[in-house]
Chain A
Amino acid sequence: MAETPKRFPLPSSVPIAEGTEAAQTAYPYYMQFGPEDDERFWFYNSMHFPEPMTVFDMITAEAAYCALGASNTRVHSLPTTLGIDYRIVNGRVYIGGNGVTDPAEIARRTEEFQKRAYYYYANWERLYDQWKEKMLALIQDAQALPPLTLPEFEPLAHVHAGRGVASNHFLLDTYQKTLEGYFRMWHHHFEFLLLGYGAYLVFFDFCKKAFPEITDQTIARMVAGFDAEIFRPDEEVKRLARRAVELGIDGKFQNGTAPDDVLASLQQMGDAGQEWLRELEASRHPWFNVNVGDGFYHYHRSWNDDLSLPFSALPGYIERIRAGDSIERPVERLVAERQALIDGYRDLLATDEEREAYDQMITLACRVFPYVEGHKFYCEHWYTNLFFNKIREFGALLSEHGLLDGAEDVFHLSHYELETAIIDLMTSWSNGSPPRGTKRFRVLVAERKEAIEVWAGMETPPALGPVPDIIDDPSIVMLWGITRENLDSWLSAGEADPNEIRGFAASSGVVEGTARVVKTVQEIDRLQSGDILVCRITNPTWAPIFQKIAAAVSDIGGSMSHAAIVAREYGLPAVVGTGDATVRIRDGQRVRVDGSRGIVTILGKVAA
């Protein structure tokens, strides 16, 4: 008897968790599953949205998919794919591709694509330089947005100057500019992204065909740059460590001391202390604008908002400088190694014809790669921090005026609701009555906070709907690494070895050690030398702690993620994108990390 084919549940059969029905309706109608969605295949985007999304944070999906789709569908006319549809249920974001299959339509789109994308490839450096200028201007605009104030009386100067527009209007103005800038940022983000990944994947596929057993990370190392912005925050921490030693104040940096206490003690250190504090400010702007996540959650704060991460790394670096070790990145050696890799694999090719094709492909891949590596610092980190902090300011103002119980509660309102709350406040300030929504928003926030808790504890099906025969959508394959093979393994999940956790092989090597499951930045002090870091996201902002760990394991991330790049730089085994390592591995358990195969094995019980 034939085995019943395995299938994913249909979207319509996924129940809304009991008691969270109202919270589910908080997401706009266009994000809700409808009956027609049962016909299509959807997968849970655990890479970008590994945790339930608060209502406000869904703007990260909304703005990103608006821009991604526009780039694919309208700007570059990708021949075989349009944009990405997205839905949310129980706080989890599901996405589905929009493939183009009609050959005539593909041909028509191909003609357009070659007029557009080829122009970008041909003028890549110029357009990328221009991109950086645009992006910096956008960042400046965001920084120039005024602080939010509702004075009792309009400042006399404004009145005498005949400004004619009162302060309440600037709340709406600033709010709308904040949203506008954020949506615009995502257009910049996708201006080059798919083209960049595509050119890289061309080379990647060639290598996989020519050398079927080559590892993903070896290919990545062949195109990796060494001056990408994302290495800079860690470099700045090293620089501050060196300055501390030079200024003779290095004794103030001890493991376990809170950043505020260190800063306070430096204030007492006279000129040397002041000098170092100036250096710190120089590093912070802009380089500490890296958040500890990937830019999709308001609570992934930046180093600037919470200095504990860079400060936890300083004692280690200082100790190594005192011991006479070099903490510089050996850039020349890294460049030479990369060249040796490129030449070595080139020599192994069978014919001169293949070598010529290889040269063409790697040339293009190396040209596009600075964007692939560099854009995240500007978009997901720097700009996103400014954005969430501005929204936080609105939250503080609404709390001050009794509409919320705390600034952070603002992230439980949708951006539409937030606008109504702002207009309520503007009205109330203008007419001298209390805001109307004081009760309303508190109730909504409370029920949504509860829902997030419920959803966080639920199992999430990895995919929904009928399984497609092939996954041929280049944007899905490129950005999420979803293949038919992945789907089969998801369908057979549960039959696998319970002690084995699979993810992307991000950085090779095999190491055994004690697992430290670290869920927040505040916990990183628990890491002992030689521990294996197990976390939700290994982000480059965590780079400074890579100096003391033996390996890294994360729930989220692909083999091309910046985390993988940093792990390779540090020569540490890393397995990323495991989905649920932080749930399955218990703190203190002994584990083996095989970064070459992408497998984490739980070896033992929790150490007593």
Chain B
Amino acid sequence: MSEGAAISWFADIGLADRLAVGGKGGSLGELTRAGIAVPPGFVVRTEAFEAFVRALDAEKPLRAPIEALDPADLSAVAACTRMVRARIMECAMSTEVRAAILSAHARLCGAERDVPVAVRSSATTEDAEDASFAGLQDTYLWVLGGEEVLRLVRSCWASLYSVESVCYRRTHGLAEAGVAMAVVVQRMVDARTAGVMFTRSPTTGDRSVVTIEGAWGLGSAVVSGEVTPDRWVVAKITGEITVRDVSDKHVRHLPKTGGGVEDTPVPDELRTAPCLSDAELLVLKDVALRAERHYRRPQDIEWAIDRKDGSVLLLQSRPETVWSARDAKPVAAPAANPLSHVMNIFGGRR
């Protein structure tokens, strides 16, 4: 398999390539194309996964035994998936795919050595966004070295064969042949501050505000809920910061020597200090609006601020689902006589 078939750079892909690069990969490609800064990276396409699994299947059937499993028989599922995952972790990868990943990783690092990267699974189906697949969306942070990247790409592939994932597919009768996984490899941001933001208020559904939540260090502390983030509400049109809730941020995730991240206590003087300046909030708001305009629907975004140069980078942007799924009743309808709207006030409660 050529590098072109196994690997795609963000700039060359978009949401339309979801089946080959997964939702996360497609979204990062889309943002890159929209001119929104994301940490550079590439996707190990589903073709690489499929070639790998096909080879394993040829050696000794892998998918057929899974398809035969009864989801109610948990011990059988556990035993079978354990073996499948072990094969994925241990069996040889084709030299072409291996070389393609290593060379892309080397290109990503450029002249620098030991550039930390993130390795993130990127599922191909809408269902994969579903909570039933929790645990499947593996993300490995601060990964150092090509060999480690290779190992974690396998881990992402193997996560498709977790007990939960397999039970879900068997319960829903999904064909194993249709299951695939892409993997995103991208430069890691050494985040001074990171978090999430929503271009529609998560609490009220208001489309006129961006809600921004952030904490010190890498965004994983916020996403995992280990820290109560600071929270702001910024009006889209006026840029007014209408809510400022600064919380006590006792812990932050920082890179660990030798790879990975670790919980670190936040120095006292930073704990109750706001982790973003007003100027940064406004930059984040503008970036959020660009993403929303690009996708033409409200977004749920992960972001980070680079410790070195203070630049804002997006790590993910996906459609907001909670409010969009609700029936929106129109707030008011036009009236034949525009004056009759005043009855809303003068006509009493109805």
Pairing of A with B: yes
Bound complex: CA of A527 vs CA of B233, how far in Å?
33
The answer to whether B290 has its CB under 8 Å from any CB of chain A is no
Give min CB distance, B202 to chain A, whole Å. 11
Residues on B with C-beta less than 8 A from A106 are 347-348
Bound complex: CA of A342 vs CA of B237, how far in Å?
9
Main secondary structure of the interface of B (DSSP, over half): loop
At the interface with chain B, which of A19-27, A209-217, A307-315, A426-434? A209-217
Identify the closest chain B residue to A346 (Cβ): B237
Bound complex: CA of A80 vs CA of B349, how far in Å?
9
At the interface with chain A, which of B85-93, B109-117, B204-212? B204-212
Bound complex: CA of A213 vs CA of B204, how far in Å?
8
Residues on A with C-beta less than 8 A from B347 are 79-80, 106, 110
Total A-B Cβ pairs within 8 A: 127
The answer to whether B226 has its CB under 8 Å from any CB of chain A is no
Residues on A with C-beta less than 8 A from B241 are 508, 596
Residues on A with C-beta less than 8 A from B330 are 350-351, 353-354, 357
Residues on A with C-beta less than 8 A from B243 are 213, 596-597
Identify which of residues 55-84 in chain B touch chain A, using a CB-to-CB cut-off of 8 Å: none
Name A215's contact: one of B201, B207, B242, B338 (CB within 8 Å).
Answer: B242
Residues on A with C-beta less than 8 A from B349 are 470, 472
Q: Cβ of B207 and Cβ of A211 under 8 Å apart?
A: yes
Give min CB distance, B272 to chain A, whole Å. 14
The answer to whether B244 has its CB under 8 Å from any CB of chain A is yes
The answer to whether A462 has its CB under 8 Å from any CB of chain B is no
Residues on A with C-beta less than 8 A from B238 are 218, 341
Identify which of residues 317-350 in chain B touch chain A, using a CB-to-CB cut-off of 8 Å: 328, 330-335, 337-339, 341-349
Given known A121-B339, A357-B341, contact A215–B240 (CB-CB < 8 A): yes
Q: Cβ of A364 and Cβ of B208 under 8 Å apart?
A: no
Bound complex: CA of A344 vs CA of B208, how far in Å?
9
Name B236's contact: one of A121, A212, A344, A354 (CB within 8 Å).
Answer: A344
Give min CB distance, B218 to chain A, whole Å. 28
Given known A79-B347, A361-B341, contact A213–B209 (CB-CB < 8 A): yes
Name B339's contact: one of A118, A211, A359 (CB within 8 Å).
Answer: A118
Using an 8 Å CB-CB cutoff, how does the interface string of B233-261 with A read, 1 for contact, 0 for none?
A: 10111101111100000000000000000
Identify which of residues 340-382 in chain A touch chain B, using a CB-to-CB cut-off of 8 Å: 340-341, 344-345, 348-351, 353-354, 356-361, 363-364
Q: Cβ of B208 and Cβ of A214 under 8 Å apart?
A: yes
Q: Cβ of A357 and Cβ of B342 under 8 Å apart?
A: no
Residues on A with C-beta less than 8 A from B201 are 212-213
The answer to whether A272 has its CB under 8 Å from any CB of chain B is no
Using an 8 Å CB-CB cutoff, how does the interface string of A325-349 with B read, 1 for contact, 0 for none?
A: 0000000000000001100110011
Size band of the interface chain B makes with A: 35 or more
Bound complex: CA of A199 vs CA of B344, how far in Å?
10
Given known A201-B345, A218-B238, A356-B334, contact A213–B206 (CB-CB < 8 A): yes
Q: Cβ of A508 and Cβ of B237 under 8 Å apart?
A: no
Identify the closest chain A residue to B349 (Cβ): A472
Residues on B with C-beta less than 8 A from A348 are 207-208, 236-237
Residues on B with C-beta less than 8 A from A215 are 235, 240, 242
The answer to whether A148 has its CB under 8 Å from any CB of chain B is no
Name A364's contact: one of B205, B334, B341 (CB within 8 Å).
Answer: B341
Give min CB distance, A110 to chain B, whole Å. 7
Task: Give the one of A122, A199, A213, A358 with max B CB within 10 A.
Answer: A213
Name A360's contact: one of B204, B237, B338, B348 (CB within 8 Å).
Answer: B338
Give min CB distance, B123 to chain A, whole Å. 30
Given known A122-B339, A198-B342, A215-B235, contact A357–B333 (CB-CB < 8 A): yes
Q: Cβ of B335 and Cβ of A211 under 8 Å apart?
A: no
Given known A121-B339, A202-B341, A202-B342, contact A357–B334 (CB-CB < 8 A): yes
Bound complex: CA of A78 vs CA of B345, how far in Å?
10
Residues on A with C-beta less than 8 A from B237 are 218, 340-341, 344-345, 348
Name A211's contact: one of B208, B244, B342, B343 (CB within 8 Å).
Answer: B208
Bound complex: CA of A80 vs CA of B350, how far in Å?
12
Q: Cβ of A363 and Cβ of B338 under 8 Å apart?
A: yes
Bound complex: CA of A121 vs CA of B204, how far in Å?
34
Identify the closest chain B residue to A364 (Cβ): B338
Residues on B with C-beta less than 8 A from A353 are 330, 333-334
Residues on B with C-beta less than 8 A from A357 are 330-335, 341
Identify the closest chain A residue to B344 (Cβ): A202
Give min CB distance, A344 to chain B, whole Å. 4
Using an 8 Å CB-CB cutoff, how does the interface string of A264-306 with B read, 1 for contact, 0 for none?
A: 0000000000000000000000000000000000000000000
Residues on A with C-beta less than 8 A from B205 are 212
Q: Cβ of A354 and Cβ of B332 under 8 Å apart?
A: yes
Bound complex: CA of A209 vs CA of B330, how far in Å?
10
Residues on B with C-beta less than 8 A from A128 are none
Q: Cβ of B235 and Cβ of A210 under 8 Å apart?
A: no
Q: Cβ of B345 and Cβ of A210 under 8 Å apart?
A: no
Identify the closest chain B residue to A212 (Cβ): B204
Given known A122-B339, A206-B332, contact A79–B346 (CB-CB < 8 A): yes
Residues on B with C-beta less than 8 A from A118 are 337, 339
Given known A213-B233, A508-B240, contact A199–B342 (CB-CB < 8 A): yes
Give min CB distance, B150 to chain A, whole Å. 47
Name A214's contact: one of B206, B338, B346 (CB within 8 Å).
Answer: B206
Using an 8 Å CB-CB cutoff, how does the interface string of B175-213 with A read, 1 for contact, 0 for none?
A: 000000000000000000000000001001111110000
Q: Cβ of A474 and Cβ of B339 under 8 Å apart?
A: no
Q: Cβ of B335 and Cβ of A80 under 8 Å apart?
A: no
Using an 8 Å CB-CB cutoff, how does the interface string of A582-608 with B read, 1 for contact, 0 for none?
A: 000000000000101100000000000
Residues on A with C-beta less than 8 A from B334 are 353, 356-357, 359-360
Residues on B with C-beta less than 8 A from A201 are 345
Give min CB distance, B319 to chain A, whole Å. 16
Give min CB distance, B210 to chain A, whole Å. 10
Give min CB distance, A457 to chain B, whole Å. 37
Task: Give the one of B235, B242, B342, B344 with max A CB within 10 A.
Answer: B342
The answer to whether A117 has its CB under 8 Å from any CB of chain B is yes
Identify which of residues 106-150 in chain A touch chain B, using a CB-to-CB cut-off of 8 Å: 106, 110, 113, 117-118, 121-122
Using an 8 Å CB-CB cutoff, how does the interface string of A195-226 with B read, 1 for contact, 0 for none?
A: 10011011001100111111100100000000
Give min CB distance, A219 to chain B, whole Å. 11
Can you list 18 A-B contacts (CB < 8 A)? A80-B346, A117-B342, A118-B337, A206-B332, A209-B332, A211-B208, A212-B206, A213-B235, A218-B240, A341-B238, A345-B208, A345-B237, A348-B208, A350-B207, A356-B334, A357-B334, A360-B338, A508-B241
Question: Which residues on B are within 8 Å of A, measured CB to CB?
Answer: 201, 204-209, 233, 235-238, 240-244, 328, 330-335, 337-339, 341-349
Closest 7 CB pairs of A and B: A344-B237, A356-B334, A360-B338, A80-B348, A212-B204, A357-B332, A211-B208
Additional pairs, 14, CB under 8 Å, beyond known A78-B346, A113-B346: A79-B348, A106-B348, A198-B346, A202-B341, A218-B238, A354-B331, A360-B334, A360-B338, A360-B341, A364-B338, A364-B341, A472-B349, A478-B345, A508-B240
